[in-house]
């Protein structure tokens, strides 16, 4: 029963983070919060018994964050 | 190549301490990929993190740097290793990627399977690592050409 509670909390957190990413005016903070999204997804995959997928998600979350931040040097940080 | 890298004293020291461990961990993930979570893809990305960080933090004078052109050649070599391992078993009378037909002298057939899977994972690792470096090279080149905001 407790594991379901933790899963429900993590799923709600995923939805909350997604809404934050969509409505944020600062693109850099969106990228950083996306890291938290990736972390919650990793924990969920681990609880559902897929450590391989969790590992892939962790690695891809790290590298895509780096790519987004490098790409942000070109464009303006604030969206108008 | 990045014209103005992200470096600073904290990033430089953290880079020196963390990157060797990440590379050793990537090799561990590659070797133990058959019996534990992980495999070629994850090992390749974890290996490329060392090169990506060194290029982002140190810029022009990065210690281990793989340029975009040689990364493309490396990706081709990785793909060649994968396909070559597959075709060896075709040449010895099996199907494509039929590990049991590999011409290796081992006592048990499971060991031949393990060696075949390992050589394929090495190919995947090289290809993924070179591809991630190529993507970073493309992004950095484009942002350097147009100037940063």
pLDDT, tens digit only, all 149 positions of chain B: 566 777 788 888 888 888 889 899 999 999 988 888 888 899 999 999 888 888 888 876 777 778 878 899 999 999 999 999 999 989 988 888 888 888 888 888 888 888 888 999 999 999 999 999 999 888 888 767 765 44
Q: What is the pLDDT of residue B3?
A: 66
Q: What is the pLDDT of residue B137?
A: 87
Q: What is the pLDDT of residue B105?
A: 82
Residue in A with minimal Cα distance to B45: A59
B61 alpha-carbon distance from chain centroid: 22
Query: For testing the chain B interface, which of A27, A38, A55 should be mutated: the one with the most B CBs within 10 Å?
Result: A55
Nearest to B57 by CA among B127, B136, B128: B136
User: Degrees (nearest 5) of the Cα angle A65, B124, A46?
Assistant: 55
Q: Which of B38, B139, B142 lies nearest to residue A55, judging by beta carbons? A: B38
Q: Which of B46, B56, B140 lies nearest to residue A59, judging by beta carbons? A: B46
Q: Identify the three-state secondary structure at position B118.
A: helix
Size of interface A-B (CB pairs under 8 A): 48
Instruction: Note whether A54 contacts B37, CB cutoff 8 Å.
Output: yes
Q: What is the pLDDT of residue B68?
A: 79
Q: What is the pLDDT of residue A19?
A: 95
Confidence check: pLDDT of A40 > 90:
yes
Q: What is the H or E stretch that residue B143 is in?
A: helix B109-146
Across residues A9-38, what is the average pLDDT?
Answer: 93
Q: Please give, rounded to a whole number of angstroms, the shortest distance from the CA of B97 to a CA of chain A.
A: 23
Q: For residue B66, what are the CA distances in angstroms to B54, B73, B78, B129?
A: 10, 11, 15, 10
Q: What is the pLDDT of residue B24?
A: 93
Chain A residues touching B39 at Cβ < 8 A: 52
Could you state, in order of their start, the residue ranges of all structural domains in chain A? 2-72
Gap between the Cα atoms of B33 and B56, Å rounded: 29
Chain B residues touching A52 at Cβ < 8 A: 37-39
Q: What is the pLDDT of residue A3?
A: 87
Confidence check: pLDDT of A28 > 80:
yes
């Amino acid at each position: 029963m407790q594991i379901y509670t933790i899963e429900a909390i993590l799923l709600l957190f995923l939805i909350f983070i997604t809404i934050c990413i969509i409505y944020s005016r600062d693109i850099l903070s969106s990228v950083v919060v996306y890291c938290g999204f990736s972390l919650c997804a990793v924990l969920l995959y681990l609880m559902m018994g897929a450590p391989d997928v969790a590992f892939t998600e962790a690695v891809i979350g790290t590298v895509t964050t780096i790519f987004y931040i490098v790409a942000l040097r070109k464009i303006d940080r604030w969206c108008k | 190549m990045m014209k103005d890298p992200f470096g600073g004293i904290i990033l430089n020291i953290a880079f020196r301490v963390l990157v060797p461990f990440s590379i050793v961990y990537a090799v561990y993930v590659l070797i133990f990929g058959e019996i534990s979570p992980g495999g070629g893809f994850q090992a390749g990305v974890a290996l490329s993190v060392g090169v990506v960080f060194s290029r982002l933090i140190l810029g022009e004078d990065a210690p281990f740097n793989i340029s975009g052109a040689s990364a493309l050649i490396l990706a081709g070599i990785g793909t060649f290793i994968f396909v070559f391992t597959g075709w060896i078993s075709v040449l010895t009378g099996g199907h494509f990627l039929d590990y049991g037909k590999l011409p290796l002298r081992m006592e048990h057939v499971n060991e031949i399977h393990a060696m075949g899977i390992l050589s394929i994972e090495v190919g995947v690792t090289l290809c993924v690592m070179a591809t991630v470096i190529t993507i970073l090279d493309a992004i950095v080149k484009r942002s350097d050409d147009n100037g940063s905001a």
